[in-house]
Amino acid sequence: MASSVEVPSYTVARELAVPAGTAALIVVDMQNDFVTAGGALVVPDAQATVPVIAGLLARARAAGTRVFYTQDSHAPGDMEFPIWGQHVLEGTWGWQIVDALAPQPGERVIRKLRYDGFFGTSLDHELRLAGIATVVVCGTVANICVLHTAGSAALRGYRVVVPVEAVSALAPFDLHAAFRQIDFLYKGTLVHADGLRFAA
């Protein structure tokens, strides 16, 4: 039975500067299966976030900010397939990060088996080795891999920043619910993507 609920309000900053040297940009799961027409599990608004994320990448790289990617990675028979169907099989076209956001040499790609970019991966260790205090998290899917990664970062003591136009979801409610959780539960900072700066 369908019902309506109102998502509580949350705050989105107009502008924000993060310190370039102690921040990392984490691009979550921008892979063909989620983003590109013909993918196994395309998120409706993901393609629209590509130029926004490309802009964030350009600004981060120009400022010397470290860039990390998460890459959802599954083998045949994965336990998530009964939930979502088969997707991002390792080594396939659908598993690859979209060409427009391709990692540059020296940028780390963290393969993950579950929603959370920290679960069972080296991400936390690598961030700490790099002296990172702030993580800027963007990508897809808002209430799944983005939220779990942002929440996991917050629980590990990182300052979490999420540029709202650089995140996509399967449904509008999911998007707003994720933003509310990041703002209220994890005390992250939501900001308009065009107002986010990586400052020296």
CATH number of the domain at 83, please: 3.40.50.850
Report pLDDT for 142: 97
Name residue, tokens 């027409």: 37
How far apart CA 38 and CA 51 sit, in angstroms, is 19
Domain for residue 28, yes or no? yes
Domain for residue 179, yes or no? no
List the beta bridge partners of residue 134: 23, 159
Report pLDDT for 136: 98
How far apart CA 68 and CA 51 sit, in angstroms, is 17
CB 182 within 8 A of CB 160: yes
CB 118 within 8 A of CB 147: no
State how beta strands 134-140 and 189-191 pair.
unpaired
Report pLDDT for 3: 79
Domain for residue 1, yes or no? no
121 Cβ partners below 8 Å, 6+ apart?
70, 110, 111, 112
With helix as H, strand as E and coil as C, how does 144-191 read? HHHHHHHHHHHHCCCEEEEEHHHEECCCHHHHHHHHHHHHHCCCCEEE
Domain for residue 176, yes or no? no
Domain for residue 9, yes or no? no
Domain for residue 12, yes or no? no
Report pLDDT for 21: 97
Domain for residue 15, yes or no? no
How far apart CA 179 and CA 160 sit, in angstroms, is 12
DSSP 15: -
Q: Catalogue the long-range contacts made by 123-127 (C-beta closer than 8 Å, 24 or more residues apart).
A: 123/26, 123/68, 123/70, 124/156, 126/68, 127/24, 127/68, 127/158
| Catalytic residue annotation | 29, 112, 145
Residue 187, sorted as left (phi over 0), alpha (psi -120 to 50) or beta, turns out to be left
Averages of pLDDT over runs of 10 residues in the chain (200 residues) are 81 98 98 97 97 98 98 95 94 98 97 97 98 98 98 98 98 96 97 96
Question: What is the residue range of 143's domain?
Answer: 21-169+184-199
How far apart CA 131 and CA 92 sit, in angstroms, is 34
Domain count, the chain: 1
Nearest to 26 by CA among 113, 170, 126, 95: 126
Domain for residue 90, yes or no? yes
